[in-house]
Amino acid sequence: GSLMPVGVGLVGAGNISTQYLTHLATYPDVRVIALGDLDEARAAGQAKAFGVPASGGPDAVLDHPDVDLVVNLTIPAAHVEISTRAVRAGKHVWSEKPLGLDRASARALLDEAAARGLQVGCAPDTVLGPGLQTALRSLADGAVGRLLTGLAIMQNPGPDAWHPSPEFFFSAGGGPVLDMGPYYLTALVLALGPVTSVVATGGRARDVRTIMVGPRAGADFPVTVPTTANVLLRHASGPSSVALFSFDWGLARTGVLEFQGSSGTIVAPDPNRFGGTVATHVGGTLADRVEIPDAGTGRGIGVVDMVRSLAAGAPPRASGELAYHVLDIMFAIGESIESGDPVEVTSVPPVAQPLPPGWSPLVAQP
């Protein structure tokens, strides 16, 4: 591969691109050189705002000779198509979550990338932030003894309360499990290891919802996916975890992520944030509490870990294989809700070691 900085191109100039462009500009290991979108005017506007030299349609990125890594920020339905096109153009890919919307196409993408000697990475990279990484290092160091269980809770009344076009959250490929599950399930897998089976129950509070805000407020739309899921996960290494995902809850409670060991409990930060509080409880008493700032990390640190891992000949920590395993878990949850039976999870991601203490995207890798 080429030396740092690595040339990066973004496909998709929507809302999330602002966060990526803001942070990637501060990371010296990468340089954003092209921005593409089906709406070329939007791509041009973002390129101008962030000083990106080239813009146009998706091909302005996919065909650019100096782009070594494509950041795929398209809508979920286009993720596999754009990622596959990038791989066929000889480029590594970082994809927003989810990796794909079915197992077969996501698996085919990873297999094709591997056959071409290319890496795929996938969001969320919040799990690489200093908050969760501090908790993961404590768990790995045996701070609370032998790991027994994990607990994850993400519940709220639903995005129809605040999103002007919320329909996609409540149709195939949406729901609280596919929308928010990646943050919590990725964290559970990083802490407790791969999942081997899930059993889940769930349903939905109502079959029709009403848009609450924006120009279409008052319009009704159908709900076609479970909007509450109660999940029990078995991990290969022995522990189990409990997860609750809901868009039906009258009480908003998000960011609950706890790990119980034989000698205590670690309360990790919200896995949808880069920093946060890590607290250790022993015998019902708070034993330790550390506030971890985000330390300049933000969306795009997964890209930095990816280019550093490539340089070191190692798979990225937020790898496509890890994202595929999480996708496999999420589909298994839906299948278990449907069938009422446990569902085996057969995919096994590579083990991702925690980042070393003090890892920073802001200082160029020597």
Token pair of 1 as six digits: 């591969």
Please answer whether residues 349 and 322 qualify as being in contact, where contact means their C-beta atoms are separated by less than 8 angstroms: yes
- Match 């010296």 to its residue by tokens: 28
pTM of the predicted model, to two decimals? 0.96
Establish whether 91 is a catalytic residue. no
Reduce the secondary structure of the chain to three states and give it as a string: CCCCCEEEEEECCCHHHHHHHHHHCCCCCEEEEEEECCCHHHHHHHHHHHCCCEEECCHHHHCCCCCCEEEECCCHHHHHHHHHHHHHCCCEEEECCCCCCCHHHHHHHHHHHHHCCCCEEECCCHHHCHHHHHHHHHHHCCCCCCEEEEEEEEECCCHHHCCCCHHHHHCCCCHHHHHHHHHHHHHHHHHHCCEEEEEEEEECCCCEEECCCCCCCCCEEECCCCCEEEEEEEECCCCEEEEEEECCCCCCEEEEEEEEECCEEEECCCCCCCCEEEEEEECCEEEEEEEECCCCCCCCHHHHHHHHHHHHCCCCCCEHHHHHHHHHHHHHHHHHHHHCCCEECCCCCCCCCCCCCCCCCCCCCC
- Which among 55, 63, 66 is positioned nearest to 30, based on CA atoms? 66
Please answer whether residues 316 and 91 qualify as being in contact, where contact means their C-beta atoms are separated by less than 8 angstroms: no
- Which among 125, 126, 130, 127 is positioned nearest to 293, based on CA atoms? 130
Omega within 30 of 0 (cis) for the link into 5: yes
Q: Which of 31, 79, 97, 317 is catalytic?
A: 97
Token pair of 334 as six digits: 């839906």
Token pair of 102 as six digits: 């079915």
pLDDT in tens, the chain (366 residues): 446 799 999 999 998 999 999 999 999 999 999 999 999 999 999 999 999 999 999 999 999 999 999 999 998 889 999 999 999 999 999 999 999 999 999 999 999 999 999 999 999 999 999 999 999 999 999 999 999 999 999 999 999 999 998 998 999 888 999 999 999 999 999 999 999 999 999 999 999 999 999 999 999 999 999 999 999 999 999 999 999 999 999 999 999 999 999 999 999 999 999 999 999 999 999 999 999 999 999 999 999 999 999 999 999 999 999 999 999 999 999 999 999 999 999 999 999 999 999 999 999 977
